[in-house]
Structure 1
Amino acid sequence: MLIKTLSYILLYNTENKPVVEKFDCIYYNYEIGVEIAYCRRPYRSQLLNRNRSECDNQGELKRFHDLIAQNIHPNDILKWSSSLEMTDRYARFLYNHTLINDDEFVCNCIKPETFGKYCEYQLTHEAKSFAEAIEIQFEQKNLLDSWNTQRYGKIICYETLPCYSGDLCLDWREICDGFSRCLNGIDEENWDKIEFNECENDEFRCTNGMCIAEEFWLDGDYDCMDWSDEYFQDYGQWCSFKPSSIECDEHFCISGMYSCGDGECINWHTRLVFQRYGPAEDDCFTKRNLNYM
């Protein structure tokens, strides 16, 4: 499935629905066969009902009746950086003569870098493709002052457990890691079952007790959640700077390391700036250890 090209952008999941958890998605391919969905995600499931009568950002409104009179093919609509939904709707009208109402239209996003069902979005950094815009943003995070890229975020706080953990909220990676952070100890409940877990003879036991198939040991890809199945230990310092950071989402830190909430791990004694007993080292790029997140 080819999602991005040099000249136009396609938007997926734009249909009106009674319940949506994500909508307006673009798929970014960061390597062959691997793609990441960038979507708008509401705080909770909600109704999506958008029925507009105009286009944004100087987009040209094209009614279906007029497009047929001009012999416009659905493949031409794809190049207008609209959405897959509107292309399909026009194709159904063209070939099956099915139309919900006589005023149906599609937006032609003629302004450079604009796209969307109603041309409501625009790429950043004057990029010519979505992939270029993503790569520039991650490059900026790596090169510019990190204080200008991350202020505060509550997304890493795990709030399902009834836990009081002091100034630092509980990260889900800190559950059953051998260190009690909740005042009532609920985050380490049944931790001993993981610590003393035994794997089968044809399995490899990760440092954190997880079991994986033996053939995945030292195969060049991380399969253990703590990445202990590979020879070269990686602490995830790159997690904030590459579009493939989704690979860090399930990364556990090993013993003696502190989770930054995005897959990056730092030395435990660096966790709080005012409680260090040794020389200052690199902080979390997310500033979790400084902002008490």
Structure 2
Amino acid sequence: MTAVATMPETRGKLTEGAALAPLVWFKSGGAAEWLFEPRDIDDLQQFLRDLDPAIAVWPLGLGSNLIIRDGGIRGVVIRLGKAFAGIDADEMTLRCGAGAPGISAASKARDHGIAGMEFLRGIPGTIGGAVRMNAGAYGREVCDILESADVILRNGDLVTIPLAEMGYSYRHSALPEGAIVVGATFKGDAGDPAIIGAEMKRIGDEREASQPLRSKTGGSTFKNPDGHKAWQLVDEAGCRGLQIGQAQVSEKHCNFLLNLGGATSAEIEALGNEVRKRVKENSGVELHWEIQRVGEEA
């Protein structure tokens, strides 16, 4: 473990050996060497400035789209709480803290008649995670609405990065290692709140009907390869319901993996890799993980 003396003083909450499984959707995985919950942006900046540059930092949002391996995460996991969850609307612009859930951002946009952000209703994580990975759903993605992102670099500097410099591609950005998104500015179009709300309801109803939302899952497991739907490739490879230990491919939606109760992260990841192998053998198409896998093996 990192020596206590190396941890900077902070106004936030710093916990050694913090369990991470309760904080992620899969409810599996090991502990963080350190878990830091900053009081505000200044607190986070000062902490990173004072932290030994050799110590890795890793941001955690709502814990969707994520497998934390059973050996846990070395260094400092940074979790942004309510102080980073504010949302303000001004004309057709939405300014969101990185800790705000996607559904909250979509609802704020609806209330202010800002169209084009309805798809955020279908993003299960926080704005910070969505900005970092260029999250998308229902035909749109973050790069379609982002104006700029506020980011704290590993050295503690706060910078604003415009859309053109985000290096976006499908489910990917070029943000540097250790950079933490703390806010984002989105631009939409004028719309009727009733029409926006109806579209959000359609998205919500469709997710409810087609996805295993009330299970221990991580969201969409694999990226859609060019010209293909990941779920269909998984289904055609005979993987619907496939199980390793307590990890299972969802019967309801083949691009979701489930923790049936006591699955280890190793079982979940092994199941995903077995699915990838079978899809490649069946179709010749290679599936790439959309779910992030982080941390150490047990």
Q: TM-score, normalised by structure 2?
A: 0.23
More strand by share: 2
Q: TM-score, normalised by structure 1?
A: 0.23
More helix by share: 2
Q: Which has the higher contact order (CA 8 A, sep 6+)?
A: 2
| Rg larger in structure | 1
